Structure 1
Amino acid sequence: MNSDQKFALLVLGIPLIGLVYCGLGLAIMSSSMTVRTHPVASGAIFILLPFGIAASTWISASAKAYKK
């Protein structure tokens, strides 16, 4: 896979994954009674999950860059 294909996958993949994640979150929020009764905790988990993934990706990429 060359760099152009990787960039195209990145440009198309991230928004699609975001849409699927938001749709999944809305479906869970509308169907689960536990999520409805604890909106602050479920919202925090819904927000912190992608933030944690992004932060760990950023930190690992920075660590690899500093090793070079």
Structure 2
Amino acid sequence: MNSDRKFALLVLGIPLVGLLYCGLGIALFTSTTVVRTHPLVSGGIFILLPFGIAAYTWISASAKAYKK
């Protein structure tokens, strides 16, 4: 896969995955009673999950760059 194709996949893929994640969150918040009874915990998990994935990706890429 060349770099232009990877970049196009990145530019189109990340927003689509974000939209799917938000749709999943809205669906869970409207349909599940456990999520509705504990909105702070559910919202915290909903926010921290992508933040944790992004932080892990950033730190591992930085560690790989410093290793070289």
Task: Give the TM-score, by structure 2 length.
Answer: 0.99
Give me the whole-angstrom Cα distance separating, in 2, the residues matched to 1:44 and 1:61.
25
Q: Which residue of 1 aligns with 2:32?
A: 32
Q: Where in structure 2 are there 5+ consecutive unaligned residues?
A: none
Root-mean-square deviation (Å): 0.3
Matched pairs, number: 68
- Structure 1: gaps spanning 5 or more residues: none
**Identical residues among aligned pairs (%):** 79
Q: 3-state DSSP class of the match of 1:5?
A: helix
List structure 1 segments (4+ residues) > 4 angstroms apart after TM superposition.
none
Q: Which amino acid aligns with 2:34?
A: T
In 1, distance between residues paired with 2:64 and 2:2?
A: 20
Amino acid at match of 1:26: I
Which amino acid in 1 is paired with 2:53?
I
Per-residue deviation, 1:4: 0.4
Find the aligned partners of 1:61 and 1:2 in 2 and give their Cα distance.
20
Q: Output one character per residue of 1:22-57: Cα deviation in whole Å (capped at 9) or x when no partner.
A: 000000000000000000000000000000000000
2:64 aligned residue: 64
